[in-house]
A and B are shown apart, each in its own frame.
Chain A
């Protein structure tokens, strides 16, 4: 069954890149979105802290 899954009836060269690309897009977009969000959260906290502490 694993063999059948890997070879995809001779269309593995088309099916697996399609699923691979989808995985890269889905995971990649999630990771970059989380990273940007975290960076902005940290930046906002830093600005808030600076404002509290004053010049």
Chain B
């Protein structure tokens, strides 16, 4: 695992993965979108409004998956001081926040025609909103300290504490009475028609591929940013050491 703590080695693999992830994203969107919008049948209760599901469900799953990755990266950073794990967590946070926001807004747009309201303070919706705030908290905390390492540590601790919310989100529809429908995956199998599940899977894979692509680009960007900071501090240190040398040489 420590082999992949080397940014050069890690980026070699990440860059090799990028074109494949881009290919999966494009193909899955090209297949998934026409299936989701045209080919899949209308729902017998919700009519065409259910088509929001093809955006809402992948966003929700990605919001949860990205948070798990972010928490895993934070654990790797806190326990093993793994630099890449920290970079992955940092680069994932804005993506997870956007997926979660997308899930919340598309959920509101789906809720209004189906439930008669954009928002209810029930367990699923509230716990998902908490997830969004956890992402924002992680991002804010990382920037809140003058010493970046202290900020990174505080944010990583918050990410780990926030994992408590993940099972709450997942089981909220079973533990409490809620307007939100239960999971489509049950112990007895799927509660969704095959005509609807394949477009949904295509959209989920498109979102996953997209996440990988943006993650690799953001990692590249974060590593470059670290190099720029190092180069700047090396340049700033140069005249100072020259002055110090001159002062030492001039001293009696």
Chain A interface (Cβ within 8 Å of chain B)? 1, 5, 8-11, 14-15, 17-19, 21-22, 25-26, 29-30, 33-34, 36-37, 40-41, 43-44, 47-48, 50-51, 55
Contact = CB atoms under 8 A, between A and B. Distances in A.
A contacts with B: majority SS: helix
B55 interface: yes
A43 to B, nearest CB: 6
A27 B152 CA distance: 28
B231 A22 contact: no
Contacts, number: 83
Nearest to A19: B55
B188 interface: no
A43 B228 contact: yes
Chain B interface size band reads 35 or more
Classify the secondary structure of B's interface with A: helix
Nearest to B54: A19
Given A22-B59, A36-B221, A43-B228, A15 B51 contact: yes
B8 to A, nearest CB: 15
Nearest to B206: A26
